[in-house]
Amino acid sequence: AQKVTQAQTEISVVEKEDVTLDCVYETRDTTYYLFWYKQPPSGELVFLIRRNSFDEQNEISGRYSWNFQKSTSSFNFTITASQVVDSAVYFCALSVGGGGADGLTFGKGTHLIIQP
């Protein structure tokens, strides 16, 4: 069975601070995908990034960056120079390969509050 742990239930920082959201996953499969989704107060789920298990390259997209380390089974998400619009619940998720119809296993989410 798969498991995703987001140990930080809530993080509150002041605008312009950098913040890292932690994600630790468990799976016995060698082929899997990791995701981050954002759920703003309006409620929709917005896809941010997908990483497959064979690609450990870090990724940067504007103020967002992701650090994938198979050695520690972690897929952490950093927001640089945070802004109030970054306030949301962020979910890390995992799917295992092999057919494309597997559901996502979600972590419990981290509620990020950016204070002006």
Partner 1 sequence: DTAVSQTPKYLVTQMGNDKSIKCEQNLGHDTMYWYKQDSKKFLKIMFSYNNKELIINETVPNRFSPKSPDKAHLNLHINSLELGDSAVYFCASSQWGGEDTDTQYFGPGTRLTVL
Residues that bind partner 1 (CB under 8 A): 33, 35, 37, 39, 43-45, 47, 50, 89, 91, 93, 95, 97, 99-106, 108-109
Smallest gap from residue 50 Cβ to partner 1 (A): 5
Count CB atoms within 10 A of the CB of residue 101. 6
If the CB atoms of residues 14 and 40 are measured against partner 1, the closer one turns out to be 40
Task: Work out how close the CB of 81 gets to partner 1 at its nearest, in angstroms, rounded to a whole number.
Answer: 26
CB of 15 or CB of 102, closer to partner 1: 102
What values do phi and psi take at 113, rounded to 5? -115, 120
Q: Across the strands, what pairs with 96?
A: 32
